Amino acid sequence: MASVNRVYSALKDLVNKDQRGFVTPAVFNNFAQVAQMNLFNKLFSDAALNKRLRQSQFDAGRDKSRVKQANEDLSYFSKKATISLTTGVGDKPSDLARIISIFTTDATAKNLELIYDEEKLEYILRSTLSAPTTTYPIALVADDINVFPTSIASVYMRYYKIPQGLVPSTGARTTSSPRFGYTVVAGKEVYDVANSVDFELPEHYFAELVVEIAKLIGVNLRDTDVYAYANQESQQQ
Q: Is residue 144 assigned to a domain?
A: yes
pTM for this prediction: 0.81
In a domain, 66, yes or no: no
Same-domain status, 152 and 212: no
Give the end of a domain, one of 109, 130, 161.
161
pLDDT tens per residue, range 104-148: 999 999 999 999 999 999 999 998 888 999 999 999 999 999 999
Q: What's the domain range around 231?
A: 4-44+163-236
Gap between the Cα atoms of 86 and 79, Å rounded: 22
Domain boundary among 108, 140, 161: 161
Q: Tell me what percent of the residues of the chain surpass a pLDDT of 70.
A: 81
